[in-house]
Amino acid sequence: MTPFTYARAADAPAAVRLAEATAAAKYLGGGTNLVDLMREGIERPAALVDVTGLSRTIETRGDGSVVIGAAASNTAVAADMTIRAHYPLLARAILAGASSQIRNMATVGGNILQRTRCTYFYDDTGSRCNKRNPGQGCDAIHGFNRIHAILGSSALCVATHPSDMAVALAALDAVVHVRGAGGERTLPFVDLHRLPEAHPEIDTVLAPGELITAIELPAMSPAARSTYRKVRDRASYAFALVSVAAIVDTDGGAIRDVRLALGGVAHKPWRATKAETALRGQPATAANFRAAAEAELADAVPLRDNGFKIELARRAIVAVLGELTGVAA
Amino acid sequence: MQFIINGTARSADVDVRTSLLDLLRDHLGLPGSKKGCNQGACGACTVLVDGERINSCLALAVQYQDRAITTVEGLSDTSGLHPLQQAFIDHDGFQCGYCTPGQLCSAVGMAAEIARGVPSVVTADLGATTIALDHDELRERMSGNLCRCGAYNGIVDAIAETFAKVAA
């Protein structure tokens, strides 16, 4: 690791001030990704601002929405009875990720801002990567790309976002609370991460020094059912090949509302708006589920090794919708 | 920096880059916690912090000052073995033994999570306040600890026997 200074922030304003004081400062949560990246020489912050002392409360507000402090551990969120009762897809998504040890360490903010697990991104000395070294080239596009993106990639980057929790937050219409030098702002979670386009080195729309302080979950309709399904190479402790977060609200056999997001397929948690549009107001039937999945995956582009993800994603969508509506696929 | 390791106050003059694992092994004379992958994939470095299991290889020591850290050396509160250590011997829960300290600390942390009602991805009913430590739960909850000798059956038997009492 390259040398860095360390400071522990007492609260969010102090954290932002500390980060402002040093160019190339990074916020440090549980460290489960950042420490690893620093050890590999991929991240080289001059300063770390420890934000694990910031708010970790999980608070239900009068309107039924829930606000989660960004320093809450992944375990604390998944174990929280309000989250388990009202946002089961979020609890299930978190529990589908990593190991117990890592979930105990990892914070909500850090989970959201973790970086891709593309093996070429990690291979600092042996591979070219536009995300790690802008302009260098990408060895994944024509390399071993079984785990890479099928949607929204660019000619410069085919990496995927690795978080499970973030897929659930995308489906939930979560809101991100951010603090920067200019004060506080909020933005929709689905707008936080960006597609690679010409700048794969930039993962999110956050300005330098901006800090995620909380995640807000809108109240869930009491009639809605939700879940998270993850398809991976082994039964536990593996990143998603494809995952689906879904919330479905049915009314007499018709789909009143549906929200779908996919993981493992794109540079960001992929909100499946085409499938949602195809389903909304339609009868909950296997044929409609399949048609919606087809609509969402119509633009999918396979690489050499990951064409299987397109059919896998279609089947996962159909299976999850079937599970939530009780309609046999 | 000031630390509380196995109930004892310890101080060490270390660089902020030092991991908790390297602090324990190289600076405090506690080599029980093992360095396997050094990237959070194998669990050999698992220790308990305020009773919660973590990967000490991914932890910067500076973040864990004044927290109660328990390593395999401090697992037993007597001069003898922790009951789980004896169960690992009885059930052949290891061959080379390299992953064992991490397995032991992880299983103790897991038992505390079960007692607190923390669900896992295989827990069918997220609303349940008590969760039985059945075979599937145990294997899922221990998936962060690899054993390349493949002593998993013995490991599972030792943990199940030791913590059967926490099963609902």
Tokens of A126: 């042996």
Q: Could you tell me the residue ranges of all domains in chain A?
A: 5-52, 225-325
How deeply is B54 buried, as exposed, middle or buried, from its count of CB atoms within 10 A (0-12, 13-18, 19+)? Answer: buried
Question: ipTM for the complex?
Answer: 0.97
Decide if A75 and B113 are in contact by the 8 Å CB cutoff: yes
Looking at B74, B94, B124, the residue that finishes a domain is: B74
Question: Average pLDDT for consecutive 10-residue bins of chain A (329 residues)?
Answer: 97 98 95 98 97 98 97 98 98 98 98 98 96 98 98 98 98 98 97 98 97 98 96 96 98 96 98 98 98 98 98 98 91
Looking at B37, B56, B74, the residue that finishes a domain is: B74
If you measure CA to CA, which chain B residue comes closest to A84? B126
- B60 interaction partners in chain A (CB closer than 8 Å): 6, 28, 31, 35, 48
Number of structural domains, chain B?
Answer: 2
Q: Look at residue A125 and give its three-state secondary structure.
A: coil
Q: What is the pLDDT of residue B166?
A: 46
Asked if residues B57 and B45 have their Cβ atoms less than 8 Å apart, the reply is: yes
Q: What is the pLDDT of residue B168?
A: 39
Interface residue B51 vs chain A (CB under 8 A): no
Same domain, B96 and B44: no
Tokens of B29: 């004379």
Same domain, B50 and B89: no
Interface residue A233 vs chain B (CB under 8 A): no
Closest in A6, A95, A102 to B16, CB measured: A6
If you measure CA to CA, which chain B residue comes closest to A99? B144
| Residue at B91 is within a domain | yes
The fold of A5-52 is: 3.30.43
How deeply is B61 buried, as exposed, middle or buried, from its count of CB atoms within 10 A (0-12, 13-18, 19+)? Answer: buried
pLDDT in tens, B31-77: 999 999 999 999 999 999 999 999 999 999 999 999 999 999 999 98
Provide mean pLDDT across the span B86-103. 98
pTM above 0.95, yes or no: yes
Q: How many contacts does A have with B, using Cβ atoms within 8 A?
A: 102
- B109 interaction partners in chain A (CB closer than 8 Å): 100-101, 104
| Residue at B168 is within a domain | no
Domain membership of residue B105 as a residue range: 83-163
Task: Compute the Cα dihedral for A69, B50, B119, A162 and give only its sign.
Answer: positive
Interface residue B53 vs chain A (CB under 8 A): yes
Q: What is the pLDDT of residue A328?
A: 81
A225-325 CATH pick, 3.30.390.50, 2.60.120.200, 3.40.50.2300, 3.30.365.10: 3.30.390.50
Closest in B60, B113, B116 to A31, CB measured: B60
Decide if B143 and A35 are in contact by the 8 Å CB cutoff: no
Looking at B74, B103, B128, the residue that finishes a domain is: B74
Same domain, B54 and B88: no
Query: Over 50: is that where the pLDDT of B167 sits?
Result: no
What's B101's domain CATH number? 1.10.150.120
Interface residue B2 vs chain A (CB under 8 A): no
How deeply is A195 buried, as exposed, middle or buried, from its count of CB atoms within 10 A (0-12, 13-18, 19+)? Answer: middle
What's B65's domain CATH number? 3.10.20.30
DSSP assignment of A177-221? EEEETTEEEEEEGGGTB---TT-TT--BSPPTT-EEEEEEEPPPP
